[in-house]
């Protein structure tokens, strides 16, 4: 199981890189169109085109990345806690939090300094607030979420051991309610009664992701029972996962049309979370299967946190370089996407290897986790 989870970790970071590359792909389609066509921007002529639906299908297919990270984190906390009744030790939690936050702070500062060098104006207060809320870069919200979940994990371990069904129901309800609060903003609805809840429903707070973390912890404690239940149902789960994938594509197109807006930035919906949960259960159900590219994804999985922290820098500079120096490449969406993915994987891996072979090696864990 541990090897399968390392593979899942590698798959998860790969999906995150792909998803954020797709965001730049959308930028090239709609906001940078004037670089390769005689139009004004934003231009949504390509909304509904084959390349748009290909991007949407890929985006939907890969939406399980962050849930998979949380699942793996919860599983390994259960592994660290052990099978007995002993509580989860705080030194284990604090070590994990330290290894998570120090690299996060380092790279948040680097990213914001680079932004300011490119012309972004930030006060000291804004600078600090962006770091602590995980908004130095779009994917960084995940780090405060995981930190919060680590800090509350000692209080939920005993329920994951002995009352796991109730725990999953409660955390599932909390997560579902949190995700439902995103719909008024997406649909451009004004609901004054819900406004305080909507305003405080931030992506860097843990309630919107708590189920995936507790699912990993529960599976960690009850691994044998889950495998025995899941394996005979693996094909049914695969079918349900496929149905949830299609439902997610349809739901997003409905939301976009119902909102009356030209575009809505990517946000996770209820069906996205159902799809992610089904994907994780299906992955577990097929544990005995041989998955492709095992060695490569295990390698990426072992370096997943460093890739996660650095890939946004690679994406920004690759996309901006294409904008300024090879604008016609923006009009070749698949080629542009492949370039973004290659650079956002290669740069972090090369940088980690350089540090690993240099006198900075002693600080490798502090820099990359």
* Per-residue pLDDT tens digits for 289-340: 888 888 888 888 889 999 999 999 999 999 999 999 999 999 999 999 999 9
Our CA dihedral for 340, 344, 350, 352, rounded to 10 degrees, sits at 180
User: How far is the C-alpha of 242 from the C-alpha of 128, rounded, in Å?
Assistant: 42
DSSP assignment letter at 138: G
Residue 68 near residue 270 (C-beta atoms within 8 A): no
pTM: 0.92
pLDDT of residue 2: 67
User: How far is the C-alpha of 153 from the C-alpha of 238, rounded, in Å?
Assistant: 30
pLDDT of residue 4: 80
- Percent over 90 (pLDDT), the chain: 71
Q: Which residues of the chain have pLDDT under 70?
A: 1-2, 84, 194, 198-201
pLDDT of residue 198: 67
Tokens of 64: 């399980």
Residue 125 near residue 192 (C-beta atoms within 8 A): no
Domain locations in the chain as residue ranges: 1-60+290-369, 63-284
DSSP assignment letter at 83: S
**How many CB atoms within 10 Å of residue 333?**
20
> Which residue matches tokens 């006060």?
123
- What angle, rounded to 10 degrees, do the helices at 90-117 and 65-81 form? 150
pLDDT of residue 205: 86
pLDDT of residue 170: 96
């Amino acid at each position: 199981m541990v090897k399968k989870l390392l593979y899942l970790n590698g798959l998860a970071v790969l999906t995150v890189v792909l998803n954020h590359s797709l965001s730049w792909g959308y930028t090239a389609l709609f906001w940078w169109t004037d670089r390769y066509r005689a139009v004004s921007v934003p231009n949504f002529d390509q909304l509904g085109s084959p390349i748009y639906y290909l991007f949407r299908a890929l985006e939907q297919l890969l939406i399980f990345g962050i849930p998979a990270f949380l699942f793996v984190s919860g599983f390994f906390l259960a592994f660290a806690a052990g099978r007995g009744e002993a509580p989860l030790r705080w030194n284990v939690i604090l070590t994990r939090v330290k290894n998570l936050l120090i690299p996060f702070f380092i790279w948040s500062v680097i990213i914001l300094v680079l932004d300011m060098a490119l012309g972004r104006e930030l006060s000291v207060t804004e600078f600090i607030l962006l770091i602590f809320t995980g908004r130095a870069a779009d994917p960084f919200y995940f780090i405060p979420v995981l930190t919060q979940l680590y800090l509350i994990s000692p209080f939920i371990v005993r329920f994951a051991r002995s009352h796991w069904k109730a725990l999953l129901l409660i955390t599932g309800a909390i997560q579902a309610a949190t995700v439902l609060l995103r719909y008024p903003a997406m649909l451009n609805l004004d609901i004054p009664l819900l406004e305080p809840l909507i305003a405080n429903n931030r992506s860097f707070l843990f309630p919107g992701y708590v189920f995936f973390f507790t699912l990993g912890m529960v599976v960690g404690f009850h691994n044998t029972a889950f495998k025995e239940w899941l394996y005979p149902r693996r094909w049914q789960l695969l079918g349900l996962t496929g149905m949830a994938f299609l439902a997610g594509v349809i739901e997003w197109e409905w939301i976009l049309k119902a909102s009356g807006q030209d575009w809505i930035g990517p946000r996770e919906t209820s069906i996205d979370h159902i799809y992610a949960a089904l994907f994780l259960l299906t992955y577990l159900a097929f544990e005995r299967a041989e998955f492709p590219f095992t060695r490569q994804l295990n390698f990426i999985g072992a370096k997943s946190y460093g890739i996660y922290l650095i890939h946004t820098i690679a994406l920004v500079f690759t996309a901006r370089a294409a904008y300024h120096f090879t604008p016609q490449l923006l009009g070749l969406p698949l080629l542009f996407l492949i370039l973004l993915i290659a650079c956002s994987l290669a740069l972090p891996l090369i940088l980690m290897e350089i540090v690993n072979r240099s006198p900075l090696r002693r600080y490798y864990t502090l820099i990359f986790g």
